[in-house]
Structure 1
Amino acid sequence: MNAIDVIRMSLDQSTAWVMELIVDMKDAPMTTPTPDGGNHPLWILGHVTYSEAELRDEFIFGKPNPLAEWKDIFGQGSQPSANASQYPPFEEILAKFAEVRSDTQKMLETMSDDDLDQPSKVPEEAKEFFGTVGQCLSAMPLHLVFHGGEVADARRAAGRPPLMG
């Protein structure tokens, strides 16, 4: 197994785990994980979708994020709102996640392990975490599972039992 295979497997596994949790909350997507608020599943779904497009298109390729119109509601530094009308519909965001993830997987098919060491196109202040193509790609599944924990907590706050052991 090479590094590209590990990244591909991590993307596949993180998607399977977290999307099962998120899809289970489609009837309660605004549920916060704590009584004091927090990131609700709808915001998380949009945020991880926007962020993956940002990592791939902006950080790796130096192109504009194709989801730039989502920056204010889902980008870094955005805050979840309890007002569902501020967001696109759940199913639209879910479909966009599938499209973004598919595009990322297609990109991986064209890459070799040597490509992972290539410098990214991030600003100087972001190079510690996203300075290479490999760092950008490895951040994608890590970011998804990080927020997946918040979805698991939102599910519990909604009174749902764990989906996994």
Structure 2
Amino acid sequence: MKKKLFAVLALLLVGLAAVTAVSADVISGIGWLEAQGSGTARVDGYVKNLHIKGNGVLYYRDGGEEDAAEVTGYGRKIDLPNGWVKYEGFRGTFNLKDADQTTVALHGRNIGLQAMGRGTVWLRGHGTYSYGTPDGTVTGDWSPDGQTFSIDSE
């Protein structure tokens, strides 16, 4: 019985260590983030100003007030359940201002992202990013495994 209890406790500790390692991948910035690359870029939260361009599949959902997004370029718009909108074959730009409870994700190539506001940005793939901190600007490369950035307005 003691061996089983020890084994269960050991598994719980290993699981907790794994969760801590994943949680440590959240980077904090202030107010803005810019990124260029290929893979997946996702923005969640209050968007003061969002500009995203590229080629691929774009998803958009506004969980708060109905805010009008400006979408230009090519792609087939598909209205999905629960307020989601999907643009298949997206090749263009997506702009949004002053929107709360928003999620925008683009999976594809030649992604250009400029986000200002409060929330999270998740990047996975290959590319570069820069974001603001109290000490200045930080730059880096996208992670093939994904990386979360917590952005907070000043």
- Give the TM-score of the pair, scaled to structure 2: 0.24
Larger radius of gyration: 2
**Structure with greater strand percent:** 2
**Structure with greater helix percent:** 1
